[in-house]
């Protein structure tokens, strides 16, 4: 199985790449910093196009859209959340997901029965609104919504799409006091990807298999 993972240079992305390789999958990992198989900046159309050119229609059985940023952790309502933070966050967490899927459509179609996994977050759930990190929360809500719509659009191609909350993970983003280690999150997520099918396409699930409220 050929797996493409964006943002595979650290945290959960790297753990997923290592776990997939360990079980024998062919993995193409991407990162902005050049530390993975392919350099990819999901905010740069030319970089996304270069990824598609590099793969050149090679079948991709699973695309994991993992690249993401959290830039507004300490912003305040009174004087924070500058327009640039909104633009940069959505460029990675939403637009970047869409353009990556769009660019790799020939690869996904070539696989027959391919899957797209979008790493979202419970912070994007409307039922878990806590009034902090407004930009990140809005971007993850949009990413989950995008997953639902892509599931509808890609059904006739036999491509299943799911969105997933990876858990509160001990990474640079999650912090050292988070609940689970990256390898635990990765193992759970990969199990979810394996279970994804057209019957469950459009789902929003946690890393450990529970349906998550939108």
Query: Could you give the residue numbers annotated as active site?
Result: 136
Contact 207, 166 (CB under 8 A): yes
C-alpha distance from residue 132 to each of 109, 115, 123 (Å): 39, 32, 9
Q: How far apart are CA 91 and CA 143, in angstroms?
A: 11
Beta carbons within 10 angstroms of residue 126's beta carbon? 10
Q: Give strand pairing partners of 4.
A: 28, 63
Q: How far apart are CA 58 and CA 111, in angstroms?
A: 8
């Amino acid at each position: 199985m050929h797996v493409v993972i964006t943002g595979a240079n650290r945290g959960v992305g790297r753990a997923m790449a290592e776990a997939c390789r360990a079980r024998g999958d062919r993995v193409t990992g991407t990162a902005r910093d050049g530390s993975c198989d392919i350099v990819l900046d999901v905010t740069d159309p030319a970089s996304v196009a270069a990824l598609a050119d590099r793969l050149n229609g090679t079948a991709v059985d699973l695309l994991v859209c993992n690249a993401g940023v959290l830039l507004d952790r300490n912003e305040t309502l009174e004087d924070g959340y500058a327009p640039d933070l909104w633009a940069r966050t959505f460029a990675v967490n939403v637009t970047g997901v869409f353009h990556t899927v769009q660019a790799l459509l020939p690869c996904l179609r070539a696989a027959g029965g391919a899957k797209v996994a979008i790493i979202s977050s419970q912070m994007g759930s409307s039922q878990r609104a806590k009034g902090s990190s407004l930009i990140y929360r809005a971007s993850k809500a949009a990413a989950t919504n995008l997953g639902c719509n892509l599931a509808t659009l890609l059904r006739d191609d036999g491509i299943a799409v799911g969105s997933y909350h990876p858990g509160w993970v001990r990474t640079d983003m999650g912090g050292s006091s988070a609940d689970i280690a990256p390898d635990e999150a990765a193992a759970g997520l990969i199990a979810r990807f394996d279970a994804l099918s057209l019957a469950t396409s459009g789902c929003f699930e946690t890393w450990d298999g529970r349906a998550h409220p939108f």
